[in-house]
Amino acid sequence: MTNSALDPLVVLTGAGISAASGVPTYRGVGGFWQNYRAQDLATPEAFQHDPALVWRFYHWRRNLVHQCKPNQAHYLLASIEDKLEDFVLITQNVDGLHQAADSRRVIELHGSIWRLKCTKCENRWMDLTVPMKEDLPTCPKCGALARPDIIWFGEPLNAEDLERAYFAAGRSRFMLVIGTSSVVQPAAQIPIIAHEAGARLIEINPEITPLTAFADVHLRGSAISQLALWWESISP
Ligand code: APR
C-alpha cells in the first residue's frame, strides 16, 4: 500500500527515540555527556592518546545496547516505511535499533557501534559479538589497530551519506524530526534544508529545541506516544 499524500517522507531521529529502549541519550539528565567528557572518549585525539580507554567505553556501550530492543516507535517507523514508496530514515544513532526493527532505507549519519574500521587500511567490517574477543580489536586484513566506525567530534561525516541526506531533505514533502536536541551540526541543518524547500516540518520532542521555532507542528512528548498519535491523525 502507498500513501502518496505523504510521499516523500523523510525522518530524522536522534537519541530520544531509543531512550525508551534503555539507551541513554547524550545530553540532559542521565546523558552520556553528563557523566563523561566527550573529548576524552569520542575524539580522534582521545583514541590516539589512549585507545584502551576509548575501547573500554565502546565495549561498555556495545554491551549496554546489546541488551536493548527496539521500541514501538522504531517498529512504527518500519511499518510506515512499508506503506510509502518514497521514504528515507536518517538517524544520528549508532545503536542499530532501526535496522533491528526492520527499517531498510536507513542513513546512519554518525556511523554504527556494530561496525569497525581499520586505522591503517580502508577495511570496514561488522562485528556483532558481545563481548568482543579482543580488548583492542585488530583489522582482519592487515592486523593494524581497529576503531569503532563512528563519527567522532571533530571528524567529517561520510560525504556520500551527507549528500544523500541533504538531497532527501531538499525534496521531502514531510519531514519528521524525532528525539534530537538539534544542536549537533551538520545533522541539525537537515530539517532546515527541508523547511526552506517548503516541506512541512513536524518535531516530536518532550523539550523545546533550536528547531522548534522552525517546526510547523511541535508534538511535545515521547517518541512512542506522539509518533503513534501523529500517524493515527494522518493515516487513511
Ligand atoms: N522521546 C522523544 N524525545 C526524547 C525522549 C523520548 N522518550 N527522551 C528524550 N528525548 C529528547 C530530548 O529532549 C533531547 O532533545 O531527545 C533529545 C536527545 O538529545 P541528545 O542527547 O543531544 O541526542 P542527539 O540529538 O541524538 O545527539 C546528537 O550528539 O554526541 C553526539 O554523536 C552524538 O549522535 C549524537 C549527536
pLDDT, tens digit (0-9, with 9 covering 90-100), for 158-215? 999 999 999 999 999 999 999 999 999 999 999 999 999 999 999 999 999 999 999 9
From ligand 1's centre to the CA of 74, what distance in Å?
15
In a domain, 81, yes or no: yes
210 within some domain = yes
Q: Compute the distance from residue 131 Cα to the ligand 1 centre, in Å.
A: 26
Give the residue whose CA is nearest to atom 30 of ligand 1.
26
Quote the CA–CA distance of 229 and 23 in Å, as a whole number.
23
Residues 122 and 163 in one domain: no
Asked if the structure places residue 26 within a domain, the reply is no
Q: For residue 156, what is the DSSP state? A: P
Task: Give distance in angstroms: CA of 92 to centre of ligand 1.
Answer: 9
Show pLDDT as tens, one digit a residue, over the chain (236 residues): 455 688 899 999 999 999 999 999 999 878 888 888 888 899 999 999 999 999 999 999 999 999 999 999 999 999 999 999 999 999 999 999 999 999 999 999 999 999 999 999 999 999 999 999 999 999 999 999 999 999 999 999 999 999 999 999 999 999 999 999 999 999 999 999 999 999 999 999 999 999 999 999 999 999 999 999 999 998 86
What CATH number corresponds to the domain at position 222? 3.40.50.1220
pLDDT of 3 reads 58
Q: Is 19 in the pocket of ligand 1 (CB under 6 A)?
A: yes
d(CA 171, CA 10): 9
- Asked if residue 180 has its Cβ within 6 Å of ligand 1, the reply is yes
pLDDT of residue 236: 66
Q: Is the pTM of this model over 0.85?
A: yes
E-assigned strands of 102-206?
106-108, 111-118, 124-126, 146-150, 174-178, 200-204
**221 and 104 co-located in one domain:** yes
Domain limits for position 47: 31-67+117-150
Residues 196 and 85 in one domain: yes
Q: Is the CB of 110 under 6 A from ligand 1?
A: yes
Whether 152 lines ligand 1, by a CB cut-off of 6 Å, is no
| Catalytic (active-site) positions | 110
Please state, in angstroms and rounded to a whole number, the distance separating the CA atoms of residues 168 and 109: 13
Residues 36 and 140 in one domain: yes
Rounded to the nearest angstrom, the distance between the alpha carbon of 2 and the centre of ligand 1 is 30
